[in-house]
Amino acid sequence: MNQFQGFRPEAVQFLIENRERNSKPWFETHRDQYETLLLAPFRQLIADLTPVMMAIDPDFDMRPAINRTISKIYRDTRFSNDKSLFRDTMWLVVRRMGEDWRTSAPGFYFEISPHGYRYGMGFYEASRDVMDRFRVHIGRKTEMFRKTIRFLKESGRFTLNGENYKRPLPGDFPEDVQAWFQKKSFYLSCDREHDDVLFSPGLSGDLTEGFEMLAPAYRFIIEALAADY
């Protein structure tokens, strides 16, 4: 039986107001709202996703802990011109234990903000070595990769995102593959406005279906990173 019952519209309003107030005393006074409207649903969502994610990769870390699978509400302002104390966005990230999904290994994510919500798979900013390995693997297994990413066109749910190199890298590939080959880093994303799905128990099923759709692409990336080239 699913634990997740949906986010409430008040969760979005809390993110907005908490960021606008920008006050630790205000946050502490309203901490119970944060825990009820955001933290508890995120933990329930992770619990619902655990079976499918462990089937995708048994090395995933599914512990529902802050700063592990769940983002902090506080911002790190040390290296930012924006000194706001709080985020107006919260997310979960599922990645392998000990791996940094931002640079060295892909991860699955879900994010909610005042502007909408999104989910998908990929890197925050893949290292150059990771992308070089990925491109070599594409070159050696081009047709397999084309079959792996066919779902993007067939489903229309996810889009490929990420910055391209200003000068195209040499590579003679079909258009669908070339789009990946030229990325400095990448992620696949389904972006939506706030809708009935977000505020219903059906969100966990929607994420499950989407993450299963992304699983073959995730496995291709992991295979690329493990290849002895």
DSSP string of 108-173, one letter each residue: EEEEEETTEEEEEEE-SS--HHHHHHHHHHHHHSHHHHHHHTHHHHHH---EEE-PBPSSPPP---
Mention every residue, 6+ apart, whose C-beta is less than 8 A from residue 149: 176, 177, 180, 217
Lowest model confidence (mean pLDDT) among 6-15, 50-59, 151-160, 165-174:
165-174
Per-domain residue ranges of the chain: 9-226
pLDDT averaged over the chain? 93
Phi, psi values for residue 192, rounded to 5°:
-135, 155
With a cut of 70, say whether residue 156 has pLDDT above it: yes
The pLDDT value given to residue 112: 98
Residues 150 and 159: their CA atoms lie apart, in Å, by: 12
CATH architecture of 9-226: 2-Layer Sandwich (3.30)
The reported pLDDT for the residue numbered 194 is 97
pLDDT tens digit sequence for 23-48: 999 999 999 999 999 999 999 999 99
| 100: confidence class by pLDDT, cuts 50, 70, 90 | low
State mean pLDDT over 114-135. Answer: 95
Percent of the chain exceeding pLDDT 70 equals 97
Rounded CA separation 225/229 (Å)? 9
pLDDT in tens, 159-213: 999 999 988 888 788 889 999 999 999 999 999 999 999 999 999 999 999 999 9
Mean pLDDT calculated for residue range 130-157: 95
What is the reported pTM? 0.94
Q: What is the per-residue pLDDT for 45?
A: 97
